[in-house]
Amino acid sequence: MDILISLGLILLMFALLGSGLWIGLALLGVGLVGMEFFTPRPAGDAMALTIWGATSSWTLTALPLFLWMGEILFRSKLSGDLFKGLAPWVDRLPGRLLHTNVIGCAIFAAISGSSSATCATIGKITLPELRRRGYPDDIAIGSLAGAGTLGLLIPPSIIMIVYGVAANVSIAKLFLAGVIPGLFLAALFMGYIMVWSLLHKEKIPPAGPRLTFLQKLDASRHLIPTVSLIVAVLGSIYSGVATATEAAAVGVAGALALAWLEGSLTWASFKDGLFASTRVYCMIGLILAGAAFLTLAMGFIGLPRNLAEFIGSLHLSQFSLLMLLLVFFTVLGCFLDGISMVVLTIAVLLPTLEAAKLDLIWVGIFIVLVVEMAQITPPVGFNLFVLQNLTRKEIGWIALKSMPLFFLMLFAVLVMYFVPELVLWLPNHSSAG
């Protein structure tokens, strides 16, 4: 009977989501129906306590701060300096300036924490320049769609903060765990660009004038402010000097100082950045509150226990369980954004993951990587929406051109499984907690 009730509530949830209702309100509504009609506990006081607990966590304070830091940089001239600093170093590689998509996304990911913000910012910088220089749209847009997902994996990552709170694991260790996989994935993307370019030499424009090493170093001065901010934020976390929340405050202060020094900090840009980050956080907070209440209702109904018992009865190996979760999250990503996927499922799946003796830090990176894959799968691939707005191309066309990078992410998941130290080495050898 509990299974039938749970399935009915899940169908109701997808009906509400399909109707266009806000995700947070849809989750709250389904939780309210489940709590009111199928459990003996009064729904009102449960909802109030759960919403307060889900949105008042001190750890969660890092989230709006990192969002604000990204918005400040998004509105400054610092993001535009990335192309000037990177271009001279990649002009002799196969693929030439296409690599600015990947390297630029990797750098901006380390100060943004958001996939869509990374994709939008780097896209506004590189796509017009690549098009002006004659690079084909298909590889330029496809590589950017995939590289933009690095905003989730390379710390500081908003979705890692959400997972850390939901699974009650160290956010600092999650940040550390994402470094090597993030760099590995960036290297895979650059390798794909090189191979594609060697197979389509006629489509790649000739290199620009050859620069001396000193000239390249001179161009790199544009990267100094951005790299300094990355070192300040991540260095304070990895050294154990600051928590993720304190480091986020350092990042905001540093971003404001840099934007003021280079002349782009005005009252209008300050206000717009603050309002934009507040809007995004309110959206995330509503999702977190709705998912927490729905999780509580499902717990009273018995879904987590029944799901754990069902998966346990299948006697799956760790690998089979992870492949099942990969398919599950990929399908779910066709309908929900990454944060909703994490907050909606982790509390339910946690007993199963712990019973399978999976390291929850490793699982966090696995889930982030799978959510990355969902960012470029239609119909609800957020990076596809961002690039559609930037390029006016069809979502299906963008998804098709980014498909090779989707398979590279799948390959990265397999490598992570067979070489878990790729994820766990840094957090296991660090003082960050």
Distance CA 318, CA 34 (A): 32
For residues 140 and 53, which has the higher predicted lDDT (pLDDT)?
140
Residues 374-412 pLDDT 10s: 878 776 566 777 788 778 888 789 889 989 999 999 999
| Residue 37 included in any domain | no
| Residue 39 included in any domain | no
Distance CA 50, CA 296 (A): 8
| Residue 46 included in any domain | no
Distance CA 122, CA 103 (A): 10
Distance CA 424, CA 46 (A): 37
Supply the pLDDT for residue 197. Answer: 93
| Residue 32 included in any domain | no
Residue 90 lies in domain = 58-428
Mean pLDDT of 311-320: 80
| Residue 44 included in any domain | no
Highest-pLDDT range among 45-59, 121-135, 372-386: 121-135
| Residue 42 included in any domain | no
Supply the pLDDT for residue 412. Answer: 94
Residues 59-83 pLDDT 10s: 677 778 877 887 787 777 766 677 7
Distance CA 43, CA 34 (A): 9
Supply the pLDDT for residue 198. Answer: 92
Supply the pLDDT for residue 286. Answer: 81
Percent of the chain with pLDDT over 90: 16
Distance CA 166, CA 54 (A): 9
Please state the domain count of the chain: 1
| Residue 105 scores a pLDDT above 70 | yes
Supply the pLDDT for residue 379. Answer: 62
Residues 337-357 pLDDT 10s: 677 778 777 877 888 888 888
Alpha-carbon 396 to chain mean position? 21
Residue pair 173/363 in contact (Cβ under 8 Å)? The answer is no
pTM of the model: 0.75
- Amino acid in the structure at residue 111: I
Residues 254-283 pLDDT 10s: 989 988 888 888 898 899 889 988 887 787
Nearest to 163 by CA among 60, 268, 272, 25: 60
Could you tell me the sign of the dihedral formed by the alpha carbons of 184, 189, 190, 192, in that order? Answer: positive
Distance CA 172, CA 251 (A): 15
Distance CA 235, CA 395 (A): 38
| Residue 130 included in any domain | yes
Give how far Cα 184 sits from Cα of 179, 193, 197, 271, Å.
Answer: 9, 14, 20, 37
| Residue 363 included in any domain | yes
Supply the pLDDT for residue 334. Answer: 67
| Residue 181 scores a pLDDT above 90 | yes
Supply the pLDDT for residue 390. Answer: 74
Residue pair 402/145 in contact (Cβ under 8 Å)? The answer is yes
Lowest pLDDT segment from 15-19, 58-62, 226-230, 285-289: 58-62
Supply the pLDDT for residue 312. Answer: 67
Distance CA 324, CA 307 (A): 13
| Residue 2 scores a pLDDT above 70 | no
Supply the pLDDT for residue 76. Answer: 77
- Residue 364 host element (H or E): helix 360-374
